[in-house]
Structure 1
Amino acid sequence: MKKILVTGANGQLGSEIKMLAPNYPNFDFIFTDIEDFPLDQSEVIVANFKTIQPDIVINCAAYTAVDKAESDSIVADSINHLAISTLASLCAHSGAKLVHISTDYVFDGTSPIGYTESDLPNPKSVYGVTKLAGETACVKNCPESIIIRTAWVYSEFGNNFVKTMLRLMSERESLSVVNDQVGSPTYAADLAQVILTILTATKWEAGIFHYSNLGEISWFDFAQDIKEIAQKTCEIKGIPASSYPTPAERPAYSLLDKSKIIAVYGIVPMDYKISLKKMIERLK
Protein backbone atom coordinates (compact mmCIF):
# COMPACT_ATOMS: atom_id res chain seq x y z
CA MET A 1 0.00 0.00 0.00
CA LYS A 2 1.44 3.34 -1.06
CA LYS A 3 1.82 5.94 1.66
CA ILE A 4 0.72 9.42 0.54
CA LEU A 5 1.72 12.49 2.53
CA VAL A 6 -0.61 15.45 1.97
CA THR A 7 0.63 18.81 3.28
CA GLY A 8 -1.72 21.75 3.78
CA ALA A 9 -4.49 19.23 4.44
CA ASN A 10 -6.84 21.75 6.08
CA GLY A 11 -6.79 24.13 3.11
CA GLN A 12 -9.23 24.10 0.20
CA LEU A 13 -7.44 21.51 -1.92
CA GLY A 14 -6.27 19.35 0.98
CA SER A 15 -9.82 19.23 2.36
CA GLU A 16 -11.15 18.09 -1.03
CA ILE A 17 -8.51 15.34 -1.23
CA LYS A 18 -9.68 14.20 2.22
CA MET A 19 -13.23 13.93 0.85
CA LEU A 20 -12.03 11.71 -2.02
CA ALA A 21 -9.55 9.61 -0.02
CA PRO A 22 -12.06 6.84 0.94
CA ASN A 23 -12.47 6.11 -2.81
CA TYR A 24 -8.79 5.06 -2.93
CA PRO A 25 -8.40 2.18 -0.43
CA ASN A 26 -5.03 1.20 -1.96
CA PHE A 27 -3.51 4.45 -0.69
CA ASP A 28 -2.59 5.13 2.93
CA PHE A 29 -3.15 8.88 3.28
CA ILE A 30 -1.32 10.88 5.96
CA PHE A 31 -2.91 14.34 6.19
CA THR A 32 -0.76 17.03 7.78
CA ASP A 33 -1.08 20.77 8.24
CA ILE A 34 0.91 23.64 9.69
CA GLU A 35 0.63 22.32 13.28
CA ASP A 36 2.37 19.01 12.58
CA PHE A 37 4.22 19.79 9.34
CA PRO A 38 5.23 23.49 9.44
CA LEU A 39 6.73 24.47 6.11
CA ASP A 40 8.63 27.39 7.60
CA GLN A 41 10.77 25.06 9.75
CA SER A 42 13.11 22.98 7.58
CA GLU A 43 14.46 20.82 10.42
CA VAL A 44 10.90 19.77 11.33
CA ILE A 45 10.14 18.99 7.65
CA VAL A 46 13.21 16.72 7.50
CA ALA A 47 12.41 14.95 10.78
CA ASN A 48 8.74 14.38 9.93
CA PHE A 49 9.53 13.21 6.42
CA LYS A 50 11.96 10.61 7.76
CA THR A 51 9.37 9.44 10.29
CA ILE A 52 6.54 9.15 7.75
CA GLN A 53 8.67 7.81 4.85
CA PRO A 54 6.06 8.58 2.17
CA ASP A 55 5.97 7.05 -1.30
CA ILE A 56 4.23 10.13 -2.69
CA VAL A 57 3.98 13.73 -1.45
CA ILE A 58 1.13 16.03 -2.53
CA ASN A 59 2.14 19.53 -1.50
CA CYS A 60 -1.04 21.60 -1.12
CA ALA A 61 0.51 23.94 1.45
CA ALA A 62 1.43 27.48 0.46
CA TYR A 63 1.58 31.05 1.67
CA THR A 64 -1.41 32.36 -0.28
CA ALA A 65 -2.11 35.76 1.34
CA VAL A 66 -1.18 37.55 -1.89
CA ASP A 67 -1.35 41.13 -0.60
CA LYS A 68 0.18 40.37 2.81
CA ALA A 69 3.13 38.71 1.05
CA GLU A 70 4.23 42.12 -0.25
CA SER A 71 5.25 43.11 3.29
CA ASP A 72 5.92 39.56 4.56
CA SER A 73 8.29 38.36 1.84
CA ILE A 74 10.67 36.43 4.13
CA VAL A 75 7.92 34.17 5.49
CA ALA A 76 6.31 33.83 2.05
CA ASP A 77 9.65 32.77 0.57
CA SER A 78 10.35 30.30 3.38
CA ILE A 79 7.02 28.52 2.72
CA ASN A 80 6.63 28.89 -1.05
CA HIS A 81 10.27 28.41 -2.02
CA LEU A 82 12.72 27.16 0.64
CA ALA A 83 10.36 24.51 2.03
CA ILE A 84 9.72 23.20 -1.49
CA SER A 85 13.45 23.00 -2.08
CA THR A 86 13.77 20.86 1.08
CA LEU A 87 10.76 18.67 0.23
CA ALA A 88 11.96 18.12 -3.34
CA SER A 89 15.45 17.10 -2.12
CA LEU A 90 13.95 14.67 0.40
CA CYS A 91 11.74 13.13 -2.30
CA ALA A 92 14.64 12.78 -4.73
CA HIS A 93 16.89 11.11 -2.14
CA SER A 94 14.21 8.71 -0.90
CA GLY A 95 12.72 7.92 -4.32
CA ALA A 96 9.33 9.39 -3.39
CA LYS A 97 7.20 11.05 -6.05
CA LEU A 98 6.22 14.70 -5.60
CA VAL A 99 3.15 16.60 -6.82
CA HIS A 100 3.49 20.32 -6.16
CA ILE A 101 0.77 22.93 -6.70
CA SER A 102 1.67 26.29 -8.23
CA THR A 103 -0.17 29.28 -9.65
CA ASP A 104 -1.05 31.50 -12.60
CA TYR A 105 0.66 34.36 -10.70
CA VAL A 106 4.00 33.21 -12.14
CA PHE A 107 2.88 35.03 -15.32
CA ASP A 108 2.59 38.79 -15.84
CA GLY A 109 -0.87 38.63 -17.44
CA THR A 110 0.05 40.39 -20.70
CA SER A 111 -0.56 37.44 -23.05
CA PRO A 112 -3.46 37.76 -25.52
CA ILE A 113 -4.00 33.97 -25.43
CA GLY A 114 -3.97 31.21 -22.81
CA TYR A 115 -0.59 30.52 -21.20
CA THR A 116 1.12 27.23 -22.04
CA GLU A 117 3.65 25.46 -19.83
CA SER A 118 6.49 26.60 -22.11
CA ASP A 119 5.62 30.32 -21.88
CA LEU A 120 8.18 32.39 -20.02
CA PRO A 121 7.12 33.24 -16.44
CA ASN A 122 7.38 36.88 -15.33
CA PRO A 123 5.74 37.31 -11.92
CA LYS A 124 4.68 40.80 -10.81
CA SER A 125 4.09 40.13 -7.09
CA VAL A 126 6.08 38.74 -4.16
CA TYR A 127 3.64 35.82 -4.05
CA GLY A 128 4.29 35.07 -7.75
CA VAL A 129 8.06 35.45 -7.34
CA THR A 130 8.17 33.04 -4.37
CA LYS A 131 5.93 30.50 -6.12
CA LEU A 132 8.15 30.59 -9.23
CA ALA A 133 11.24 30.13 -7.03
CA GLY A 134 9.51 27.09 -5.52
CA GLU A 135 8.87 25.66 -8.99
CA THR A 136 12.52 26.20 -9.97
CA ALA A 137 13.78 24.49 -6.80
CA CYS A 138 11.32 21.65 -7.34
CA VAL A 139 12.56 20.96 -10.88
CA LYS A 140 16.23 21.35 -9.89
CA ASN A 141 16.14 19.14 -6.78
CA CYS A 142 13.58 16.59 -7.95
CA PRO A 143 13.42 16.48 -11.76
CA GLU A 144 10.83 13.69 -11.63
CA SER A 145 8.29 15.88 -9.83
CA ILE A 146 4.95 17.02 -11.27
CA ILE A 147 4.02 20.68 -10.89
CA ILE A 148 0.40 21.70 -11.49
CA ARG A 149 -0.27 25.39 -12.00
CA THR A 150 -3.84 26.40 -11.26
CA ALA A 151 -5.88 29.58 -10.81
CA TRP A 152 -8.83 31.19 -9.02
CA VAL A 153 -9.32 28.24 -6.67
CA TYR A 154 -12.56 27.99 -4.71
CA SER A 155 -14.28 25.35 -2.59
CA GLU A 156 -16.85 24.99 0.15
CA PHE A 157 -13.85 24.85 2.51
CA GLY A 158 -11.81 27.86 3.64
CA ASN A 159 -12.02 31.43 2.39
CA ASN A 160 -12.45 32.16 -1.31
CA PHE A 161 -14.15 34.43 -3.83
CA VAL A 162 -17.33 32.37 -4.18
CA LYS A 163 -18.03 32.19 -0.45
CA THR A 164 -17.19 35.87 -0.01
CA MET A 165 -19.57 36.84 -2.83
CA LEU A 166 -22.38 34.70 -1.42
CA ARG A 167 -21.97 36.35 1.98
CA LEU A 168 -21.79 39.90 0.61
CA MET A 169 -24.76 39.31 -1.71
CA SER A 170 -26.80 38.38 1.36
CA GLU A 171 -25.66 41.48 3.25
CA ARG A 172 -25.70 44.22 0.60
CA GLU A 173 -27.95 45.62 -2.10
CA SER A 174 -25.09 46.24 -4.53
CA LEU A 175 -21.48 45.17 -5.07
CA SER A 176 -18.63 46.42 -7.26
CA VAL A 177 -16.45 43.71 -8.83
CA VAL A 178 -13.37 44.02 -11.08
CA ASN A 179 -14.24 43.45 -14.74
CA ASP A 180 -10.85 43.72 -16.47
CA GLN A 181 -8.99 40.75 -14.97
CA VAL A 182 -9.69 37.60 -16.98
CA GLY A 183 -9.02 33.94 -16.25
CA SER A 184 -10.78 30.70 -15.45
CA PRO A 185 -11.92 29.50 -12.00
CA THR A 186 -10.88 26.16 -10.52
CA TYR A 187 -13.14 24.11 -8.28
CA ALA A 188 -10.78 22.51 -5.75
CA ALA A 189 -12.81 19.27 -5.82
CA ASP A 190 -12.07 18.95 -9.55
CA LEU A 191 -8.36 19.63 -9.02
CA ALA A 192 -8.25 17.05 -6.21
CA GLN A 193 -9.74 14.46 -8.58
CA VAL A 194 -7.19 15.40 -11.25
CA ILE A 195 -4.31 14.77 -8.82
CA LEU A 196 -5.68 11.38 -7.78
CA THR A 197 -6.29 10.46 -11.43
CA ILE A 198 -2.62 11.20 -12.14
CA LEU A 199 -1.52 9.10 -9.14
CA THR A 200 -3.49 6.11 -10.44
CA ALA A 201 -2.43 6.55 -14.09
CA THR A 202 -0.40 3.83 -15.81
CA LYS A 203 2.48 6.24 -16.41
CA TRP A 204 4.18 9.00 -14.45
CA GLU A 205 5.21 11.85 -16.72
CA ALA A 206 7.13 14.51 -14.83
CA GLY A 207 6.98 18.20 -15.67
CA ILE A 208 4.78 21.27 -15.41
CA PHE A 209 1.06 21.05 -16.21
CA HIS A 210 -1.73 23.61 -16.29
CA TYR A 211 -5.20 22.89 -14.91
CA SER A 212 -8.33 24.93 -14.31
CA ASN A 213 -11.96 24.55 -15.26
CA LEU A 214 -13.04 25.51 -18.78
CA GLY A 215 -14.15 29.06 -19.49
CA GLU A 216 -12.77 32.56 -20.02
CA ILE A 217 -14.37 35.10 -17.70
CA SER A 218 -13.71 38.17 -15.57
CA TRP A 219 -14.27 38.37 -11.80
CA PHE A 220 -17.39 40.43 -12.64
CA ASP A 221 -18.69 37.63 -14.89
CA PHE A 222 -17.94 35.12 -12.14
CA ALA A 223 -19.88 37.18 -9.61
CA GLN A 224 -22.83 37.40 -12.01
CA ASP A 225 -22.84 33.62 -12.38
CA ILE A 226 -22.72 33.15 -8.60
CA LYS A 227 -25.66 35.57 -8.27
CA GLU A 228 -27.67 33.72 -10.91
CA ILE A 229 -27.02 30.20 -9.55
CA ALA A 230 -27.61 31.20 -5.92
CA GLN A 231 -30.68 33.27 -6.94
CA LYS A 232 -29.51 36.44 -5.21
CA THR A 233 -30.97 39.90 -5.95
CA CYS A 234 -27.88 42.01 -5.19
CA GLU A 235 -26.86 44.37 -8.03
CA ILE A 236 -23.35 43.68 -9.41
CA LYS A 237 -21.43 46.63 -10.89
CA GLY A 238 -18.31 46.18 -12.99
CA ILE A 239 -15.26 48.34 -12.19
CA PRO A 240 -11.69 48.46 -13.55
CA ALA A 241 -8.88 47.06 -11.38
CA SER A 242 -7.47 50.60 -11.18
CA SER A 243 -10.51 51.56 -9.07
CA TYR A 244 -9.68 48.81 -6.57
CA PRO A 245 -5.93 49.15 -5.87
CA THR A 246 -4.25 46.31 -3.95
CA PRO A 247 -0.69 45.99 -2.55
CA ALA A 248 0.04 43.10 -4.96
CA GLU A 249 -0.38 43.43 -8.72
CA ARG A 250 -2.71 40.80 -10.22
CA PRO A 251 -2.28 39.33 -13.73
CA ALA A 252 -4.82 41.07 -16.01
CA TYR A 253 -5.10 37.94 -18.17
CA SER A 254 -4.16 34.56 -16.72
CA LEU A 255 -6.04 31.95 -18.70
CA LEU A 256 -4.17 28.63 -18.54
CA ASP A 257 -3.94 26.45 -21.66
CA LYS A 258 -4.80 22.89 -20.60
CA SER A 259 -3.87 21.04 -23.81
CA LYS A 260 -0.88 19.27 -22.25
CA ILE A 261 -2.64 17.70 -19.25
CA ILE A 262 -5.49 16.62 -21.56
CA ALA A 263 -3.05 14.98 -24.00
CA VAL A 264 -0.73 13.35 -21.46
CA TYR A 265 -3.16 12.19 -18.76
CA GLY A 266 -6.51 12.17 -20.57
CA ILE A 267 -7.92 14.71 -18.09
CA VAL A 268 -11.25 16.20 -19.18
CA PRO A 269 -11.65 19.63 -17.52
CA MET A 270 -15.19 20.47 -16.43
CA ASP A 271 -16.95 23.62 -17.61
CA TYR A 272 -16.58 26.16 -14.79
CA LYS A 273 -20.31 26.82 -14.56
CA ILE A 274 -21.17 23.14 -14.02
CA SER A 275 -18.59 22.95 -11.22
CA LEU A 276 -19.80 26.22 -9.69
CA LYS A 277 -23.36 24.88 -9.54
CA LYS A 278 -22.09 21.70 -7.87
CA MET A 279 -20.16 23.66 -5.24
CA ILE A 280 -23.09 25.97 -4.42
CA GLU A 281 -25.39 22.93 -4.13
CA ARG A 282 -22.92 21.28 -1.74
CA LEU A 283 -22.82 24.44 0.37
CA LYS A 284 -26.58 24.29 0.80
Structure 2
Amino acid sequence: MKIFVTGISGQLGYDVLKEAKKRGIDIVGTSSKELDITDEQAVKNCIASVKPNVIIHCAAYTAVDKAEEDRDTCYNVNVNGTKYLAEAAAKHHAKFVYISTDYVFDGQGNQPFKETDKTNPIGYYGETKLQGEKVVQQLLEKYFIVRISWVFGKNGHNFVKTMLRLAESYETVSVVGDQLGSPTYTVDLAKVLLDMVQTERYGIYHASNEGFCSWAQFAEAIFNEAGKATAVKAITTAEYPTKAKRPANSKMDKSKLAEVFSALPTWQDALSRYLKELQ
Protein backbone atom coordinates (compact mmCIF):
# COMPACT_ATOMS: atom_id res chain seq x y z
CA MET A 1 0.00 0.00 0.00
CA LYS A 2 1.22 3.46 -0.91
CA ILE A 3 -0.39 6.47 0.75
CA PHE A 4 -0.32 10.12 -0.30
CA VAL A 5 -1.22 12.58 2.45
CA THR A 6 -1.85 16.33 2.10
CA GLY A 7 -1.48 18.95 4.81
CA ILE A 8 1.56 17.57 6.66
CA SER A 9 2.42 21.02 8.03
CA GLY A 10 -0.93 20.93 9.89
CA GLN A 11 -1.86 19.00 13.01
CA LEU A 12 -3.53 15.93 11.49
CA GLY A 13 -1.38 15.49 8.37
CA TYR A 14 1.72 15.61 10.57
CA ASP A 15 0.46 12.77 12.79
CA VAL A 16 -0.83 10.66 9.88
CA LEU A 17 2.65 10.82 8.32
CA LYS A 18 4.30 10.00 11.65
CA GLU A 19 1.98 7.08 12.45
CA ALA A 20 2.30 5.60 8.93
CA LYS A 21 6.10 5.70 9.16
CA LYS A 22 5.92 4.05 12.57
CA ARG A 23 3.86 1.23 10.98
CA GLY A 24 6.29 0.88 8.09
CA ILE A 25 3.71 2.02 5.53
CA ASP A 26 4.99 3.55 2.29
CA ILE A 27 3.79 7.17 2.55
CA VAL A 28 4.46 10.41 0.72
CA GLY A 29 3.47 13.63 2.46
CA THR A 30 3.05 17.11 1.07
CA SER A 31 2.31 20.58 2.40
CA SER A 32 1.16 23.73 0.60
CA LYS A 33 4.84 24.64 0.12
CA GLU A 34 5.37 21.59 -2.12
CA LEU A 35 1.94 21.28 -3.69
CA ASP A 36 -0.67 23.95 -4.31
CA ILE A 37 -3.83 21.83 -4.32
CA THR A 38 -5.73 24.65 -6.07
CA ASP A 39 -3.50 24.15 -9.13
CA GLU A 40 -5.29 21.45 -11.10
CA GLN A 41 -2.36 20.54 -13.34
CA ALA A 42 0.08 20.40 -10.43
CA VAL A 43 -2.25 17.99 -8.59
CA LYS A 44 -2.62 15.78 -11.68
CA ASN A 45 1.15 15.67 -12.21
CA CYS A 46 1.87 14.98 -8.54
CA ILE A 47 -0.58 12.07 -8.20
CA ALA A 48 0.55 10.63 -11.56
CA SER A 49 4.14 10.56 -10.36
CA VAL A 50 3.41 9.21 -6.84
CA LYS A 51 0.81 6.64 -8.00
CA PRO A 52 -0.75 6.12 -4.54
CA ASN A 53 -3.35 3.47 -3.66
CA VAL A 54 -4.74 5.80 -1.00
CA ILE A 55 -5.06 9.57 -0.72
CA ILE A 56 -5.65 11.00 2.77
CA HIS A 57 -6.69 14.61 2.28
CA CYS A 58 -5.96 16.56 5.48
CA ALA A 59 -5.18 19.94 3.90
CA ALA A 60 -7.90 22.55 4.33
CA TYR A 61 -8.64 26.21 4.82
CA THR A 62 -9.68 26.21 8.49
CA ALA A 63 -9.63 29.90 9.53
CA VAL A 64 -13.34 29.94 10.42
CA ASP A 65 -13.73 33.70 10.98
CA LYS A 66 -11.43 34.75 8.16
CA ALA A 67 -13.41 32.50 5.78
CA GLU A 68 -16.40 34.85 6.06
CA GLU A 69 -14.41 37.54 4.22
CA ASP A 70 -11.77 35.57 2.32
CA ARG A 71 -14.38 33.45 0.56
CA ASP A 72 -12.53 32.90 -2.72
CA THR A 73 -9.47 31.40 -1.06
CA CYS A 74 -11.57 29.28 1.27
CA TYR A 75 -13.66 27.93 -1.64
CA ASN A 76 -10.61 27.35 -3.79
CA VAL A 77 -8.84 25.25 -1.16
CA ASN A 78 -11.79 23.38 0.35
CA VAL A 79 -13.86 22.75 -2.77
CA ASN A 80 -11.64 23.05 -5.86
CA GLY A 81 -8.58 21.54 -4.15
CA THR A 82 -10.69 18.60 -2.99
CA LYS A 83 -12.19 18.20 -6.48
CA TYR A 84 -8.78 18.04 -8.19
CA LEU A 85 -7.51 15.46 -5.69
CA ALA A 86 -10.70 13.40 -5.96
CA GLU A 87 -10.48 13.43 -9.77
CA ALA A 88 -6.87 12.24 -9.55
CA ALA A 89 -7.95 9.51 -7.09
CA ALA A 90 -10.65 8.37 -9.54
CA LYS A 91 -8.18 8.24 -12.40
CA HIS A 92 -5.68 6.16 -10.41
CA HIS A 93 -8.35 4.01 -8.64
CA ALA A 94 -7.11 5.19 -5.24
CA LYS A 95 -9.12 5.09 -2.02
CA PHE A 96 -9.86 8.59 -0.77
CA VAL A 97 -10.14 9.96 2.77
CA TYR A 98 -11.74 13.39 3.08
CA ILE A 99 -11.49 15.11 6.45
CA SER A 100 -14.66 17.05 7.16
CA THR A 101 -16.06 18.84 10.20
CA ASP A 102 -18.83 19.19 12.80
CA TYR A 103 -19.47 22.60 11.17
CA VAL A 104 -21.54 20.93 8.42
CA PHE A 105 -24.36 20.89 11.01
CA ASP A 106 -26.33 23.87 12.33
CA GLY A 107 -25.91 22.96 16.00
CA GLN A 108 -29.64 22.95 16.76
CA GLY A 109 -31.11 20.67 19.43
CA ASN A 110 -29.38 18.71 22.19
CA GLN A 111 -28.88 15.30 20.61
CA PRO A 112 -25.53 14.21 19.12
CA PHE A 113 -25.66 14.37 15.32
CA LYS A 114 -25.61 11.09 13.41
CA GLU A 115 -23.91 10.62 10.03
CA THR A 116 -27.34 10.45 8.40
CA ASP A 117 -28.68 13.67 9.96
CA LYS A 118 -29.49 16.65 7.76
CA THR A 119 -26.54 18.97 7.15
CA ASN A 120 -27.11 22.71 7.37
CA PRO A 121 -23.94 24.77 7.87
CA ILE A 122 -24.33 28.22 9.45
CA GLY A 123 -20.94 29.61 8.36
CA TYR A 124 -18.99 29.80 5.12
CA TYR A 125 -16.20 27.47 6.28
CA GLY A 126 -18.78 24.74 7.05
CA GLU A 127 -20.48 25.42 3.72
CA THR A 128 -17.24 24.80 1.76
CA LYS A 129 -16.45 21.65 3.75
CA LEU A 130 -19.93 20.32 2.97
CA GLN A 131 -19.45 21.11 -0.72
CA GLY A 132 -16.17 19.20 -0.52
CA GLU A 133 -18.09 16.20 0.87
CA LYS A 134 -20.52 16.38 -2.03
CA VAL A 135 -17.72 16.57 -4.60
CA VAL A 136 -16.14 13.43 -3.12
CA GLN A 137 -19.47 11.57 -3.20
CA GLN A 138 -20.13 12.60 -6.80
CA LEU A 139 -16.71 11.63 -8.14
CA LEU A 140 -15.82 8.54 -6.13
CA GLU A 141 -17.13 5.25 -4.81
CA LYS A 142 -14.14 4.29 -2.67
CA TYR A 143 -14.26 7.10 -0.13
CA PHE A 144 -14.23 7.71 3.61
CA ILE A 145 -15.66 11.05 4.73
CA VAL A 146 -14.53 11.58 8.32
CA ARG A 147 -16.08 14.43 10.31
CA ILE A 148 -13.97 15.65 13.20
CA SER A 149 -14.19 18.45 15.79
CA TRP A 150 -12.11 20.60 18.16
CA VAL A 151 -8.77 19.29 16.90
CA PHE A 152 -5.53 19.38 18.88
CA GLY A 153 -2.11 18.00 18.01
CA LYS A 154 1.56 18.75 18.42
CA ASN A 155 2.10 20.45 15.09
CA GLY A 156 0.22 23.72 14.72
CA HIS A 157 -2.10 26.05 16.63
CA ASN A 158 -4.98 24.85 18.78
CA PHE A 159 -7.15 25.65 21.79
CA VAL A 160 -4.96 23.73 24.26
CA LYS A 161 -1.83 25.69 23.32
CA THR A 162 -3.78 28.96 23.48
CA MET A 163 -5.04 28.17 26.99
CA LEU A 164 -1.57 27.22 28.20
CA ARG A 165 -0.23 30.50 26.81
CA LEU A 166 -2.98 32.53 28.52
CA ALA A 167 -2.30 30.74 31.82
CA GLU A 168 1.17 32.28 31.83
CA SER A 169 -0.29 35.82 32.02
CA TYR A 170 -3.80 35.65 33.47
CA GLU A 171 -5.33 34.49 36.75
CA THR A 172 -8.79 34.18 35.18
CA VAL A 173 -9.73 33.41 31.59
CA SER A 174 -13.21 33.88 30.08
CA VAL A 175 -14.23 30.94 27.87
CA VAL A 176 -17.48 30.17 26.07
CA GLY A 177 -19.54 27.72 28.11
CA ASP A 178 -22.63 27.20 25.93
CA GLN A 179 -21.05 25.45 22.94
CA LEU A 180 -20.75 21.68 23.41
CA GLY A 181 -18.69 19.15 21.49
CA SER A 182 -15.80 16.70 21.62
CA PRO A 183 -12.07 17.41 21.43
CA THR A 184 -10.12 15.29 18.91
CA TYR A 185 -6.47 14.32 19.45
CA THR A 186 -4.73 13.91 16.11
CA VAL A 187 -2.54 11.05 17.38
CA ASP A 188 -5.67 8.97 18.11
CA LEU A 189 -7.38 10.04 14.90
CA ALA A 190 -4.35 9.20 12.72
CA LYS A 191 -4.41 5.61 14.01
CA VAL A 192 -8.07 5.06 13.13
CA LEU A 193 -7.64 6.66 9.67
CA LEU A 194 -4.79 4.27 8.87
CA ASP A 195 -6.90 1.34 10.11
CA MET A 196 -9.75 2.53 7.88
CA VAL A 197 -7.80 2.62 4.65
CA GLN A 198 -6.80 -1.04 5.07
CA THR A 199 -10.50 -1.89 4.64
CA GLU A 200 -13.32 -1.30 2.20
CA ARG A 201 -15.82 -0.14 4.82
CA TYR A 202 -16.50 3.06 2.89
CA GLY A 203 -18.87 5.83 3.90
CA ILE A 204 -19.27 8.74 6.29
CA TYR A 205 -17.95 8.49 9.86
CA HIS A 206 -17.94 10.77 12.88
CA ALA A 207 -14.60 10.53 14.66
CA SER A 208 -13.58 12.41 17.78
CA ASN A 209 -12.51 11.39 21.26
CA GLU A 210 -15.22 9.94 23.50
CA GLY A 211 -17.24 12.17 25.80
CA PHE A 212 -18.60 15.71 25.50
CA CYS A 213 -17.75 19.03 27.12
CA SER A 214 -18.08 22.77 26.66
CA TRP A 215 -15.10 24.93 25.72
CA ALA A 216 -15.08 26.25 29.32
CA GLN A 217 -15.00 22.70 30.73
CA PHE A 218 -12.23 21.82 28.30
CA ALA A 219 -10.23 24.85 29.47
CA GLU A 220 -10.72 23.85 33.13
CA ALA A 221 -9.47 20.34 32.38
CA ILE A 222 -6.42 21.77 30.58
CA PHE A 223 -5.47 23.96 33.56
CA ASN A 224 -6.06 21.16 36.08
CA GLU A 225 -4.10 18.59 34.07
CA ALA A 226 -1.24 21.05 33.46
CA GLY A 227 -1.17 22.11 37.13
CA LYS A 228 -2.10 25.73 36.40
CA ALA A 229 -3.91 27.86 38.99
CA THR A 230 -5.81 29.82 36.32
CA ALA A 231 -9.56 30.02 36.89
CA VAL A 232 -12.15 29.77 34.12
CA LYS A 233 -15.12 32.10 33.86
CA ALA A 234 -17.79 30.54 31.63
CA ILE A 235 -19.42 33.10 29.33
CA THR A 236 -22.13 32.89 26.67
CA THR A 237 -21.60 32.90 22.92
CA ALA A 238 -23.40 36.26 22.87
CA GLU A 239 -20.74 37.68 25.21
CA TYR A 240 -17.98 36.62 22.82
CA PRO A 241 -19.04 37.78 19.35
CA THR A 242 -17.13 36.39 16.35
CA LYS A 243 -17.41 37.01 12.60
CA ALA A 244 -18.56 33.45 11.93
CA LYS A 245 -21.48 31.85 13.75
CA ARG A 246 -20.53 28.63 15.49
CA PRO A 247 -22.83 25.67 16.20
CA ALA A 248 -23.99 25.57 19.85
CA ASN A 249 -24.33 21.79 19.68
CA SER A 250 -21.30 20.20 18.01
CA LYS A 251 -21.87 16.82 19.62
CA MET A 252 -21.50 13.99 17.12
CA ASP A 253 -22.73 10.42 17.53
CA LYS A 254 -19.70 8.16 17.08
CA SER A 255 -21.37 4.78 17.54
CA LYS A 256 -20.84 3.86 13.87
CA LEU A 257 -17.07 4.35 14.23
CA ALA A 258 -17.05 2.23 17.41
CA GLU A 259 -19.04 -0.51 15.68
CA VAL A 260 -17.08 -0.70 12.42
CA PHE A 261 -13.59 0.20 13.68
CA SER A 262 -12.99 1.23 17.28
CA ALA A 263 -13.96 4.13 19.52
CA LEU A 264 -11.28 6.69 20.28
CA PRO A 265 -10.20 7.02 23.94
CA THR A 266 -11.92 9.62 26.12
CA TRP A 267 -10.95 13.24 25.53
CA GLN A 268 -9.66 13.47 29.11
CA ASP A 269 -7.29 10.57 28.51
CA ALA A 270 -6.23 12.12 25.19
CA LEU A 271 -5.57 15.50 26.82
CA SER A 272 -3.41 13.90 29.50
CA ARG A 273 -1.26 12.14 26.88
CA TYR A 274 -1.08 15.27 24.74
CA LEU A 275 0.24 17.43 27.58
CA LYS A 276 2.95 14.82 28.19
CA GLU A 277 3.78 14.93 24.47
CA LEU A 278 4.14 18.72 24.61
CA GLN A 279 6.60 18.63 27.53
TM-score of the superposed pair, with normalisation by structure 2: 0.98
Q: How does 1:121-200 map to 2 (within 5 A)?
A: 121-200=119-198
Bigger drift between 81-90 and 225-234 goes to 81-90
Q: Distance in 2 between matches of 1:138 and 1:22?
A: 27
Deviation (angstroms), 1:269: 1.7
Q: Structure 1 unaligned runs (5+)?
A: none
Q: Residue 247 of structure 1: which of 239, 243, 263 is its match?
A: 243
Deviation at residue 53 of structure 1 after TM alignment: 1.3
Task: Give, in angstroms, the shift of residue 148 of structure 1.
Answer: 0.3
Q: Among 221, 234, 239, which residue is 1:238 paired with? A: 234
Aligned match of 2:3: 4
Match 2:26 to one of 25, 28, 31: 28
| Contact 1:16 1:192 survives alignment (8 Å) | yes
Instruction: Give the deviation of 1:153 after TM superposition.
Output: 0.3
Match of 2:13 in 1: 14
- RMSD (Å) for aligned C-alpha atoms: 1.0
CA–CA separation in structure 2 for the residues paired with 1:262 and 1:7: 26
The answer on whether the counterparts of 1:4 and 1:57 sit within 8 Å (CA) in structure 2 is yes
Write the letter of the residue equivalent to 2:134. Answer: T
Q: Is the 8 A contact 2:37 2:84 kept in 1?
A: no
> Which residue among 260, 263, 271 is the counterpart of 2:256?
260
Contact 2:5 2:55 in 1 (8 A): yes
In structure 2, distance between residues paired with 1:111 and 1:53: 44
| Farther off after superposition, 122-131 or 46-55 | 46-55
In the alignment, structure 1 residue 283 sits paired with structure 2 residue 278: yes
Q: What is the SS of the residue equivalent to 1:171?
A: coil
CA shift for structure 1 position 107: 0.2
Give, in angstroms, the shift of residue 55 of structure 1. 1.0
> Segments of 4+ in structure 1 off by > 3 A?
none
Helix, strand or coil for the counterpart of 1:208? strand
TM superposition shift of 1:168: 0.5
d(CA) in 1 for partners of 2:275, 2:192: 20
- Displacement after TM superposition at 1:199 (Å): 2.4
Q: Which moves more between the two structures, 82-91 or 218-227?
A: 82-91
- CA shift for structure 1 position 205: 1.5
Q: CA deviation at 1:83?
A: 1.3
Please give the alpha-carbon distance, in whole angstroms, between the structure 1 residues aligned to 2:37 and 2:124.
18
One-letter identity of the residue aligned with 2:15: E
Q: Secondary structure at the match of 1:98?
A: strand
Structure 1 contact 13–188 (Cα < 8 Å) conserved:
yes
For the 8 Å contact 1:40–1:75, the answer to whether it is kept is: no
Matches within 5 A, 1:31-50: 31-50=29-48
Q: Which residue of 1 aligns with 2:87?
A: 89
| Contact 2:254 2:263 (C-alpha < 8 Å) held by counterparts | no
Aligned length: 279
Paired with 2:112 and 2:99, the residues of 1 have a C-alpha distance of: 19
1:40, CA displacement in angstroms?
2.0
- SS at structure 2 position matched to 1:44: helix
Report the more deviating stretch, 191-200 or 160-169: 191-200
Amino acid at match of 1:97: K
Q: Secondary structure at the match of 1:43?
A: helix
Deviation at 1:19, TM superposition (A): 2.3
Deviations 1:233-277 (A, max 9, x none): 112111001011000000000111011111122x12201100000
What is the rounded CA distance, in whole Å, between the counterparts of 1:199 and 1:135 in structure 2?
17
TM-score norm. by structure 1 comes to: 0.96
Q: Unpaired segments of 5 or more residues in structure 2?
A: none
Maintained 8 Å contact 2:5/2:17 = no
State the alpha-carbon separation in 1 of the partners of residues 67 and 39 from structure 2: 18
User: 1:114-162 CA deviation, whole Å, 9 max, x = no partner?
Assistant: 0000001000011000000000000100122111000000012200000
Percent sequence identity over matched residues? 41
Q: Is residue 218 from structure 1 mapped to residue 214 from structure 2 by the alignment?
A: yes
